[in-house]
């Protein structure tokens, strides 16, 4: 007998998908959202363009979630990127695939995805109730039996899906309620911390470079002096430190290393296309040809304008020095700096400014086949509330949609065939 009533808490991508699935499977479904409308975070994703998934195959997709990726195998086997693209196309949202396999709505409008989801949920027969904040789970005889809505009373249910997101961008409604509700029900919560977050660097170097965007550079972490992960691409200097795609990708590891008390630095290779020998030969040639031209003028061919005074300060070579006076030791110092521009990382921006939250409901206590709690029968989890986080590129939204799909069906009593 399928449960007659399912409550889904949180109308983000995970909750919308879960509610639609549960209702489409015949359950009387109520989707509770604390904000004034559903999908507040969804509409700001991908700078308003919504990078909804990635076209890379499963074997390449899963490693983007790190060690926890395997947990998602069951959900992805049942509802993956092709299914999501087909699902949205059937609902009038055409998609385009861009560089790096990133998939966006062809309209380039995240709002279109949110509207299509809401329409579908309502067509499936689920009721969406906004301004409804769940404050407590109702648990009777060890089983979830509904939710408390503060002064608004109790809503009873045979199954509950918690899809309340993480703690980043709290103005969208995600403030960690779900993790607190799960903890009160006995679930272990992996510490919540920011991931895909800008990093704070020491001194005033970043502030001097504020607004400068570097393309085609390689940046790597140095953790207690040892080489860590590296990324190639684009980064940005801000008034407090560094941001941009490659910094965000590296940030999760930097945050964890800082929490562990390690010394963290970012090493930027400004000339990744040349090895040290090739770069030295090029510098030698440039300096010989330079004659009386000033160091600052020579650097114009090597660096963006904003980096020139910083380079001069950090290499100790005066901007006024004529090229022919720069000796071999100075040239080698310049070469080393161009390959290893080091910025000590002293911290990170707060979780509120992170694209996603690392940590959450521990995966050990959730069945990956149904996303049901192993502690409280009838309770399911979907989306960022779980201890899952991935790189940028559409992976996080796909995880939200896929876990929502599976949790919604399981909450409605559908048993998928085991793999």
Ligand X SMILES: Cc1cc2nc3c(=O)[nH]c(=O)nc-3n(C[C@H](O)[C@H](O)[C@H](O)COP(=O)(O)OP(=O)(O)OC[C@H]3O[C@@H](n4cnc5c(N)ncnc54)[C@H](O)[C@@H]3O)c2cc1C
Minimum CB–partner distance for residue 37 and ligand X (Å)? 9
Quote the Cα angle for 264-267-270, to 5°.
165
Q: Are strands 241-243 and 199-201 parallel, antiparallel or unpaired?
A: antiparallel
**Which of the residues 201 through 260 are near ligand X (CB under 6 A)?**
none
Burial 290-320 (b: 16+ CB within 10 A, else e): beeeebbebbeebbeeebbebbbeebebeee
173 versus 198: smaller Cβ distance to ligand X: 173
**Which of the residues 2 through 61 are near ligand X (CB under 6 A)?**
9-15, 32-35, 40-42, 44-46, 50-51
Minimum CB–partner distance for residue 356 and ligand X (Å)? 5
Minimum CB–partner distance for residue 134 and ligand X (Å)? 4
What is the spatial distance between Cα 342 and Cα 282, in angstroms, rounded to a whole number?
A: 22
What is the spatial distance between Cα 248 and Cα 36, in angstroms, rounded to a whole number?
A: 30
172 versus 262: smaller Cβ distance to ligand X: 172
Number of residues assigned to the chain: 419
**Which of the residues 292 through 321 are near ligand X (CB under 6 A)?**
none
Give the count of residues interacting with ligand X (CB under 6 A). 39
What character string, x for contact with ligand X (CB under 6 A) and - otherwise, covers 94-133?
---------------------------------------x
34 versus 218: smaller Cβ distance to ligand X: 34
What character string, x for contact with ligand X (CB under 6 A) and - otherwise, covers 159-198?
----xxx--xx---xx--xx--------------------
DSSP category for residue 417: P
Q: Are strands 379-381 and 159-162 parallel, antiparallel or unpaired?
A: parallel
Minimum CB–partner distance for residue 132 and ligand X (Å)? 6
Bridge partners for 376 per DSSP: none
8 Å CB contact between 263 and 343: no
Bridge partners for 241 per DSSP: 200
Select from 7, 62, 72, 134 the one that contacts ligand X (CB under 6 A).
Answer: 134
74 versus 174: smaller Cβ distance to ligand X: 174
164 versus 205: smaller Cβ distance to ligand X: 164
What is the spatial distance between Cα 256 and Cα 212, in angstroms, rounded to a whole number?
A: 27
User: In the structure encoding, which two tokens stand for residue 72, read together?
Assistant: 């998602």
What is the spatial distance between Cα 253 and Cα 345, in angstroms, rounded to a whole number?
A: 12
User: In the structure encoding, which two tokens stand for residue 9, read together?
Assistant: 């808490």
Minimum CB–partner distance for residue 345 and ligand X (Å)? 22
List phi, psi (to 5°) of 214: -105, 130
Count Cα neighbours of 247 within 13 Å in the Cβ-side half-sphere: 27
Minimum CB–partner distance for residue 39 and ligand X (Å)? 7
Task: Give the torsion sign (CA, 295, 297, 299, 304).
Answer: positive
8 Å CB contact between 162 and 373: no
What character string, x for contact with ligand X (CB under 6 A) and - otherwise, covers 320-359?
-----------------------------------xx---
User: In the structure encoding, which two tokens stand for residue 126, read together?
Assistant: 């689920």
DSSP category for residue 105: E
- The answer to whether residue 155 forms part of the interface with ligand X (CB under 6 A) is no
Minimum CB–partner distance for residue 67 and ligand X (Å)? 18
133 versus 187: smaller Cβ distance to ligand X: 133
Minimum CB–partner distance for residue 164 and ligand X (Å)? 4
Listed in sequence order, the residues at least 6 apart from 402 whose beta carbon sits closer than 8 Å to its beta carbon are 72, 75, 76, 78, 79, 80, 84
104 versus 341: smaller Cβ distance to ligand X: 104
138 versus 336: smaller Cβ distance to ligand X: 138
Minimum CB–partner distance for residue 171 and ligand X (Å)? 10
Per 3-state DSSP, what percentage of the chain is helix, strand, and coil (rounded to 5)? 40, 25, 35
13 versus 359: smaller Cβ distance to ligand X: 13
SS3 376: coil
**Which of the residues 379 through 398 are near ligand X (CB under 6 A)?**
383-384, 394-397
What is the spatial distance between Cα 410 and Cα 368, in angstroms, rounded to a whole number?
A: 11
341 versus 395: smaller Cβ distance to ligand X: 395
Minimum CB–partner distance for residue 239 and ligand X (Å)? 19
**Which of the residues 356 through 375 are near ligand X (CB under 6 A)?**
356
Instruction: List interacting residues with ligand X (CB under 6 A).
Output: 9-15, 32-35, 40-42, 44-46, 50-51, 133-134, 163-165, 168-169, 173-174, 177-178, 355-356, 383-384, 394-397, 400
């Amino acid at each position: 007998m399928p449960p007659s009533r399912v409550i889904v808490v949180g109308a983000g991508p995970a909750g919308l998908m879960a509610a639609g699935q549960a209702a489409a499977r015949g359950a009387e479904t109520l989707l509770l959202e604390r904000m004034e409308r559903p999908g507040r975070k969804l509409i700001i994703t991908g700078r308003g363009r919504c990078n909804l998934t990635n076209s890379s195959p499963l074997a390449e997709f899963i490693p983007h979630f790190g060690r926890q990726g395997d947990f998602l195998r069951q959900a992805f086997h049942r509802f993956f990127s092709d299914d999501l693209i087909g699902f949205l196309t059937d609902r009038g949202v055409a998609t385009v695939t861009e560089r790096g396999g990133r998939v966006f709505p062809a309209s380039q409008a995240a709002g279109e995805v949110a509207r299509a989801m809401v329409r579908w949920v309502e067509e499936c027969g689920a009721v969406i109730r906004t301004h409804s904040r769940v404050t407590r789970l109702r648990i009777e005889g060890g089983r979830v039996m509904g939710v408390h809505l503060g002064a608004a009373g109790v809503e009873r249910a045979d199954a509950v899906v918690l899809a309340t997101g993480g703690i980043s961008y709290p103005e969208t409604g995600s403030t960690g309620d779900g993790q607190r509700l799960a903890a009160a029900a006995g679930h272990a919560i992996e510490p919540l911390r920011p991931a895909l977050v800008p990093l704070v660097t020491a001194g005033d170097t970043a502030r001097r470079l504020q607004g400068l965007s570097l393309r085609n550079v390689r940046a790597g972490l140095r953790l207690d002096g040892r080489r860590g992960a590296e990324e190639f691409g684009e980064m940005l200097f801000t008034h407090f430190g560094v941001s941009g795609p490659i910094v965000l990708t590296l940030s999760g590891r930097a945050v964890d290393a800082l929490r562990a008390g390690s010394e963290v630095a970012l090493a930027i290779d400004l000339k990744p296309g040349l090895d040290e020998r090739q770069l030295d030969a090029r510098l030698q040639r440039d300096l010989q040809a330079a004659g009386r031209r000033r160091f600052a003028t020579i650097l114009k061919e090597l660096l963006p304008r904003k980096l020139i005074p910083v380079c001069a300060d950090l290499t100790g070579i005066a901007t006024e020095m004529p090229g022919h006076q720069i000796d071999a030791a100075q040239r080698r110092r310049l070469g080393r700096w161009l390959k290893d521009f080091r910025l000590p990382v002293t911290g990170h921006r707060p979780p509120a400014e992170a694209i996603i939250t690392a940590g959450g409901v521990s995966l050990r206590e959730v069945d990956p086949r149904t996303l049901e709690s192993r502690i409280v029968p009838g309770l399911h989890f979907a989306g960022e509330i779980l201890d899952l986080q991935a790189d940028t590129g559409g992976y996080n939204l796909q995880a939200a949609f896929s876990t929502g799909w599976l949790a919604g069906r399981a909450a409605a009593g559908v048993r998928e065939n085991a793999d």
